[in-house]
Amino acid sequence: MPTLWPNFAGIATPRTMLQMLYDAAAGVGAQSNGKLDFYIDAVGVGAAGAVERIRYNCYLRVSRNNYTHLLFQVTTPVAGPFPATAATPEGETYPNLADEPALLGAISAILQRERTKEVAVYLMSSVP
């Protein structure tokens, strides 16, 4: 019996939100001499068990003991990466991010803020 599935070989795959986030936050290992890395966990969110959005929790992780500290979250529709909203645990929000350049601008603002620097220095000092 022939397959009922379409031929996936010719279909271009768009960049995923995970790829964009990992690319945007690359380099923390080198900056911290291997003490920190960037980690993402994605969860479906919605009312009454219906998954309507995907929330990407973005952490700084201490490499030696796997301790994680939530830096920011990005929430997207289930169907695609945009429009997205970025938010920090401290309440800063970056809504209506329409494309990757807007996302990168929000992530840059989050990574360059004083609170992020304080957290990173504290986490690096927690391991020899």
CA distances from 78 to 11, 34, 52, 67 (A): 20, 34, 6, 29
Give the pLDDT of residue 10.
Answer: 84
Q: Element (H or E) spanning 42, and its range? A: strand 36-45
pLDDT, tens only, 17-62: 999 999 999 999 999 999 999 999 999 998 888 999 999 999 999 9
Cis peptide before 95 (omega within 30 of 0): no
Residue 97: left (phi > 0), alpha (psi -120 to 50), or beta?
Answer: beta
